[in-house]
Every structure is written in structure tokens, then in C-alpha cells.
Chains A and B, each alone.
Chain A
Amino acid sequence: MITFSNKGYNIHISHYNIATTNDYIEFSIEMPIMDNNDLLYLIKSNDPDTFRNIYRSAYPSCQQLILRNSGTQDDAADLFQEALLILMRNARKTGFRLNSTVNAFLYGIVRNLWLKKLQKKKKNKIDLIIDEEIGTPLKNIASDIDFSAYLDDQPEMTVSKKVSEAIATLGEQCRELLLDFYGMETSLKELAEERKTTSDYLKLKKYRCMQRLRAQLLQKKEVQ
């Protein structure tokens, strides 16, 4: 379904350039409502209860998979944690859709991570043993997901101390907005909906926050 809304004039001002459109028309394509939309919303909100529930429902099958394939309980716990981080990282990204269940998604990620780890050790093709009662249905549910797209998704963690300090000195509102937009790659439109404001306002705020952050970094570099 396509919706149109006339928002009048819309002016973009940035440090880089200036853009303007007259009679700005915004249109968006509505995605079909998914069963686990609410769950994704809670994941995005970093709600601890949600993660506790995910652990309780999805972890046993993942642990069974690892234990049946020469892994330990610690391996299972570590891989599941990694899979949850991948889910968190992707949940906020614009365009991320969970076509399967969260359990199946996590099972698939854990399965692929473990396969990758085993292949690194043995350097030849490995087939994992999958429990027919639990594993096969989960694997089938998530059969259309290309998990490899999520596996190399680790952000680069080599960040200078000055950058970390500059981020820490930002006010909470600014930091949250920049973390959501750049850190989690959530669109301004989605952020505006969450914060019950307009994306134009957030665009301006983001620009100012980024400018403040640049200034902080510059200051720290100059001090040195």
C-alpha cells in the first residue's frame, strides 16, 4: 500500500550541503505486519525481560545442537550470547525483517557460528547432527534466511581513546540519538515514530549533535 502525505516545504541544511524540495511528497511502502513485530520492538528497547524470555525459549534447542556436535555447555552459552548480539544489532537496522521465528533465527545463527568454528579447526566440510524432533523444524522454518549475511557483521572495535571520551562527554539525548542512528543504523523516520516527533526535527538535532561531537574530538586532539 502506498501512502502520500504532503508536508509542505522541506529544507535540509547540513554542514556539507544544502538541499531543498518544494511540495515535498513523502511516500512509504507498508510492510506486511509480522507476528514478532512486538518482540522486535522489545529487543530494540534492550528490555532485559525480553532477553530472559528469549533465553528460556530458544536456548535449550541451541544448547542441544552444540552438545550433540562435540561442544560444551560453555560453547553453547557463548555462541548463544553472540547470536543474541547479532539479533540486537540487526533488529534496529532499517529493512531488517524477521521472516521466521526468533527461536529459528537464533538457532540458525548458532548453527552457522558453530559450523564456522568447527570448520576452522578441522579445515574440511562438516555436517552437523541435528535433532529431528527440535532441530529439523527450526532449520526448516529458517530455511530462506541467508545466515552468512549476519555472520561477518562484527563492528570494528579498534576505536581510539579520544573518540570514546568524546562520545562519553555528549549529553544523554545527543548520545542516544547518534547511537541509534549511526550505531544501530535506525532510520530517522523510525526514530521519529519512537520518539513521537518529526524526522525533520531529528535531522536537525542529529546534525547539531554530530557537530558537537566533532568539536569535542577536535578539542581532545588539540589538547594533546
Chain B
Amino acid sequence: MKNEALIDLFDRYHFLRMTEQEREQFETQLITDTSLAEEYDIYQQLLAGLKKADRQRSIAFLTEIKTGLNDAGLFLSPEEIDSYLLKKAPKDIQNKIEKRLQEDSKFKKQIDTDAELIAGLKAFQEEKNKNVIAAVKAELQQEGFFEIQAPKKKEYKIAPKRRQWAIAASIAIVTVLAAWLWRINTAIPNLPIAQFEWELEEAKAVANKKGFTGNVASLLTQSLTAIENNNLQAVRPTLDKISLELSANSSSQKIVQFLNAQLDVKEGRTRQGVKQLKRLSKDKDFIAQPTASWLLGRSYWQLGCYKLAKKQLLPLINNPQYSERAQRILETIE
């Protein structure tokens, strides 16, 4: 920095004493001429206070310049300009810069360039950040991290005592459900069996048996006649009258029940009739037990309950009276 003319040039540039044209010329020279740029660097260091000897003089001078600019309302510190460029400037600084932008085209050009460069720097940084995250993400993806993170199924912890109750309740529910399902499967449809054929042999034998009071014998014959004549409305009242005459659980009473059961099935109170037949078919003391059993199996078959029909008819294969008929039905089922 020996050349006084050079110092004067730098001073004029820094202290804004150049015309716009001179300033442009000087800046172009700074870019193209490395030795000038080096000199200028030294000059800047001098001003920055690195060279103690010149400091006092510089400061006094610079303070004077600053005061002048401040008075004109044009002084802007680098921090203020940066804050404006980073969109963080307070309103008053913003106004001051905008005012200067309107008045100083060189300054405006400078700000526009800087804004363009800062946008570029931001984008560059963003890209850099993205690359860091993308690399980590790709690495985790390879490890299968994103699949592993599927939400865990919620576990419900139950105290042991409550667990016992829960198990008991579950068993009860399952049992009820199973029973209900079984009942649904085995339920007898309450439909009349149109082609129902009466089985009256045993009833007739009882009616012809001696030892009955005249009233009971005549009533039983009366009912059998009504059945044979298909006058079903007259059957039930007559059978009720006989029932009143006979003692409970007597074999004759059971015959009356047997007729009643058949009447129920014939008239469409099928469930009730089948229930009675089922009971009589299991009663080994009942003289018409095989017939009740046959009638029950046949009713099941006629109602479409083939599983029940098969179960009921299979034992009758050994019964000479019903073997053939049971066999015929079983063949249709299989």
C-alpha cells in the first residue's frame, strides 16, 4: 500500500465518493485484476482494524462518514441488509432499504443479485438436507424398518380372577350357542303330515279286550270308528272322556295317549305328537312300543329329518313286524 493514488481510489470507492460509472469501472477492475484485488484486501484489513497504526485515523474518519449517511437516512449496516435479504428485517429497516432501493439503482441491482444468490443457497442447503435424510431413509428401508413399524395389536391384560370369570362366561356362551344350534338342526317342523297313516292295531286289540266297563269299551270303539271314517273332530273329545275313566299309567291310558299323539301329528301339532311318540317309543312296558317307535321313525322321515329317522329306524331292522318297511325307508335315505 505504497501508492497514495491507489489508497485515494479505494477511499473514494468505500466512502461512496465515486460516481456510478466510476464505481462500476472499479468493480470490474477488481474482478479482472488480481493484484488490485490483493491490494484492496490489504486496504480492507487496514480498515478492519488489523493494522493498529492506522486504526485511530480510520475510525475517526469512518465515524464521520457514518454520521453523514445516518443524517441522510441512508446508512445501512451489513446486518440490516442481511436481515432484509433473509426477510427478518423490522418494519423501519425495511422502509429505509426500500427508500434507498428507489433512489440508488446500483444498490437495487446489488440487492437483486444477492436475493437471487440467497435463494440459490437456500435451495442448495435444502437439497443437501434432503440427501442426508434420503440416505438414512434408504438404509432403514433396506433393513425393513418401515414394514416392522406396523401398529401393534392392542393387548388386553386381564387379572387372573377376571380371566377365570371370562373363561367361564365364554364356556357358558359357547354351550348355549351349541345347544341352540343343535336344537335348530334337530328341530321338528310343526307341519301336518298329509300322508300320515294311522297305526290302530294295538288300540283295536285293547278295545276288544274283555274286562273294560261298557262305557270305556264303547267310547274307544267310537273313537276308532271316527278315525277310520276320518271324522277327526269327534276323536279328541271321546279320547278325553276315556282318559278320565282310566287310571293314570295304566296300559289302556297309554293306548289313549298313543292315539292322541297320532291325532296331534295328523292335525299338524307335529312337535307335540312327536314328543309323545318319542316318550312312548322308549317305554318298554307299553304294548305298542315297537309301533310307536316305527311311527316316530316314519314321521321323522316324512318331515325330512333324515338323520333322526335313520337313528330311529335302524334298530327296527331286527323287528320282524317292521323290518321290511324300515328297510325300505332307510334305502331312500342312503
Chain A residues packing against B (C-beta within 8 Å): 9-20, 22, 46, 48, 51-52, 55-56, 59-60, 63-64, 67-68, 73, 76-77, 81, 84-85, 88-89, 155-160, 163-164, 166-167, 178-179, 181-185, 200, 203-204, 207-208, 210, 213-215, 217-219
Q: Is the pair B136, A156 in contact by a Cβ cutoff of 8 Å?
A: no
CA distance A19 to B263 in the complex (A): 122
Interchain CA distance A12-B119 in the complex, whole Å: 25
- Which bracket fits the contact residues of B? 35 or more
- Going nearest first, the 3 A-B pairs with the smallest beta carbon separation are A183-B125, A163-B120, A14-B78
Residues of A within 8 A of B324 (CB): none
Q: Interface with A: B143-151, B193-201, B278-286, which one?
A: B143-151
Q: Is the interface of B mostly helix, strand, loop or mixed?
A: helix
A-B contact pairs, 9 of them (CB 8 A): A17-B75, A18-B66, A22-B59, A55-B145, A60-B151, A155-B123, A157-B126, A183-B121, A214-B117
- B14 near A13 (CB under 8 angstroms)? yes
Residue of B nearest to A165 (CB): B120
Distance of A154 from chain B, by nearest CB (Å): 8
Residue of B nearest to A73 (CB): B146
Q: Are B149 and A60 in contact (CB under 8 A)?
A: yes
Known: A20-B62, A183-B124. A219 touches B31 (CB 8 A): yes
Q: How far is the CB of B272 from chain A (nearest CB, A)?
A: 56
Across-interface contacts of A179 in B (CB, < 8 A) = 121, 124-125, 128
Chain B residue at minimal CB-CB distance from A78:
B137
Chain A residues with Cβ below 8 Å from B63 are: 20, 22
CA distance A163 to B120 in the complex (A): 6
- Check A73/B81 contact, CB under 8 A, given A89-B126, A179-B124: no
CB <8 Å contact, B149 and A19: no
Contact status B14-A18, CB under 8 Å: yes
Contacts of A51 in B (CB 8 A): 132-133, 136
Which of A10, A55, A160 interacts with B140 by CB under 8 Å? A55
A68 to B128, alpha carbons, bound, how many Å? 32
A10 to B58, CA, bound (A): 12
Digit string of B221-239 for contact with A (CB within 8 Å is 1, else 0)?
A: 0000000000000000000
* Interface membership of chain B positions 63-77, coded 1 if the CB is closer than 8 angstroms to chain A and 0 otherwise: 101100100000111
Q: Is B81's CB under 8 angstroms from A9's CB?
A: no
Query: What is the distance, in angstroms, from A111's C-beta to the closest C-beta of chain B?
Result: 16
B156 CB → nearest A CB, Å = 13
In the assembled complex, the Cα of A129 lies from the Cα of B199 at a distance in Å of 72
Check if B126 sits within 8 Å of A9, measured CB to CB: no
B318: Cβ under 8 A from any A Cβ: no
B22 interface residue per 8 A CB criterion: no
In the complex, what residues of B have CB within 8 A of residue A89's CB? 126, 129
- By beta carbon, the residue of chain B nearest A82 is B133
Q: Is B118's beta carbon under 8 Å from chain A? A: yes
Please give, as numbers and ranges, the residues of chain B lying within 8 Å of A178 by CB-CB distance.
121
**Please, what's the 1-or-0 string for B34-74, where 1 marks a CB less than 8 Å from any CB in chain A?**
00000001001001110000010011001101100100000
Interface flag for B116 (CB, 8 Å): yes
Q: Which residues of A sit under 8 angstroms from B177, Cβ to Cβ?
A: none
Given contacts A11-B58, A19-B66, contact A213 B117 (CB under 8 A): yes
Contact across chains for B140 and A11 when beta carbons are under 8 A apart: no
Q: How far is the CB of B125 from chain A (nearest CB, A)?
A: 3
Contact: B136 with A55, CB < 8 Å?
yes
CB-contact partner of B125 in A48, A163, A184, under 8 A: A184
Chain A's closest residue to B69 (CB) is: A17
Which chain B residues numbered 75 to 117 have a C-beta less than 8 Å away from chain A? 75-79, 81-82, 85-86, 88, 107, 110, 113-114, 116-117
